[in-house]
């Protein structure tokens, strides 16, 4: 059980670190973070650091959600996404 708690803590650290990296890229490029309240398109920085931080953020958030969710819910979600993908491939 402690291993799972330690894994959750490490994922939170990865998420925090990735968010800080993304914020720093936006700051250094003198851009503001995009917000959903303002749907205007903004140009996101496309540096390697930015893309790496976002990939890490997506992965860590997904893993943390899976770790904290009941296993049946995670399996159901993965299956639903797979079926959805199959439906889209027939378009």
pLDDT at 10: 98
Asked whether the predicted pLDDT for residue 35 surpasses 90, the reply is no
Span 19-35, average pLDDT? 90
What is the value of pTM for the model shown?
Answer: 0.77
User: What is the domain partition of the chain in residue ranges?
Assistant: 2-36+43-89
Give CB contacts under 8 A, 24+ apart, made by 57-61.
57/14, 57/15, 57/18, 57/19, 57/22, 60/11, 60/14, 60/15, 60/18, 61/15
What digits encode the pLDDT tens for the residues 45-56? 888 999 999 999
């Amino acid at each position: 059980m402690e291993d799972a708690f330690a894994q959750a803590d490490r994922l939170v650290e990865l998420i925090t670190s990735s968010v800080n990296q993304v914020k720093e890229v936006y700051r250094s490029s003198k851009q503001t973070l995009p917000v959903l309240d303002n749907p205007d398109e903004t140009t996101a920085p496309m540096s390697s650091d930015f893309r790496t931080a976002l990939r890490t953020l997506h992965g860590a958030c997904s893993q943390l959600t899976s770790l904290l969710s009941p296993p049946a819910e995670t399996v159901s979600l993965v299956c639903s996404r797979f079926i959805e993908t199959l439906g889209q491939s027939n378009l």
